[in-house]
Structure 1
Amino acid sequence: VELSLESRFRLAMLATVRDGADASGGDLAASVWGGWIAYQAPDRAAVRDMARRRGVEETMRAPWPGLRVRRLPPPRGLALEVGWTGEPASSSALTGRLAASRWRGSAARWSFTSRSQECVRTAIDALERGDDQELLHQVRRARHVLAELDDEVRLGIFTPRLTALCDAAETVGGAAKPSGAGGGDCGIALLDAAAATQTARLREQWAAAGVLPMPIQVHQTNGSAR
């Protein structure tokens, strides 16, 4: 079946939200479009309700409130490295613990959300301008914002291996942060693509800390976005 990229995403998202509206769909968008993208999640509860009331076919054609996806240029001189801690983690479990805590309606939540959104906006701008140094700075900022949340709410986002993953990237001149659920799982690092020795040192330090470098490359999907 020949489908546009957005139709593929919408079908996958409908299947995902059928059993719950917690998933952001960021992993689906990354898988469908590939490459580097700016993604804003739709209102998943509204989409699920629309599908129940109006059916899948009509929901596929209707506007989805909040959904935004656009391609971004890759970093000019940075390489992406991905490390896995060997400790699977559940995003829904962590977000569920946040929802059940007093943090949900607090000023700290507003501050975390605001600073995270600013990191994303500035990182997008850095990619569009080709400013690799600013992109590295925003990855570091995002790490610190997550670390402050972790210290405040005690979610366990930064396991010893994820902390070692991030620290190793800093020692070779790069930047890193947890990715995915946190509390184990994966982390990503950006570092100078032309410095093979830095990449080798990073992977050595990861291996020593029990972090497995993943053989992942960024690949852009072919096809129409609409």
Structure 2
Amino acid sequence: MPDNNDNRPAARPIRIGDTAPDFIARSTAGPVRLSDYRGRWLLFFSHPGDFTPVCTSEFLAIARAADRFAELDCALLAHSVDSLFSHLAWIRALRDDLGVAIPFPIVEDPSLEIAHAFGMVDAQSFSAATVRAAFFIDPDGVVRALTIYPLTVGRSVDEMVRTVAALQRTSDGSAMTPEGWQPGDDLLVPPELATEGVLAADNPTGWFYTLAKDARAR
């Protein structure tokens, strides 16, 4: 039984702009250190448990989209509190029964140390059944976006890919992406923040809402 007098400090949830906590863990591809991914984008995503319906649907979809992430030079790293043996048995079942090989590592976290470090679960929690988190980490190891979903709702892999592309396109601060943006679409010009520019705009919305062609579009 867990000790109800656990004195671990409360884990602050990761926020945008935080450096992702480093860790070393066993994975289905051998030992993994998060900081080894520095220098490229990384999608670090967690799931509530192996051999579960929603997680299985997500992993099948992410595996099938692995080439799309690779085109963005974005690595994939999965996580759950299940043991390495469970991970290995699960990916064997997905390959043998459903015909999909999982090409990215899945790290184990039976002690919940990683889940606590990332604020995926409360410090006093001894279950990660509600964890379905994704952290979009830039080449400097900084979290640029994150999502948290409940146990019963699967994530959109198309939106994950789109988010990586949008973060990469806007990372230099020269543009912003409008709702539903896809690579090649028009971009939003960062708003004018000086009175002179605001008053000089051709129309009342021109200083804060202007779409422009993406000069990098193919």
Higher relative contact order by CA 8 Å / sep ≥ 6: 1 or 2? 1
- Scaled to the shorter chain, the TM-score interval is under 0.3
**TM-score of the superposition, structure 2-length normalised?**
0.25
**TM-score of the superposition, structure 1-length normalised?**
0.25
The answer to which structure has the higher helix fraction is 1
The structure whose Rg is larger is 2
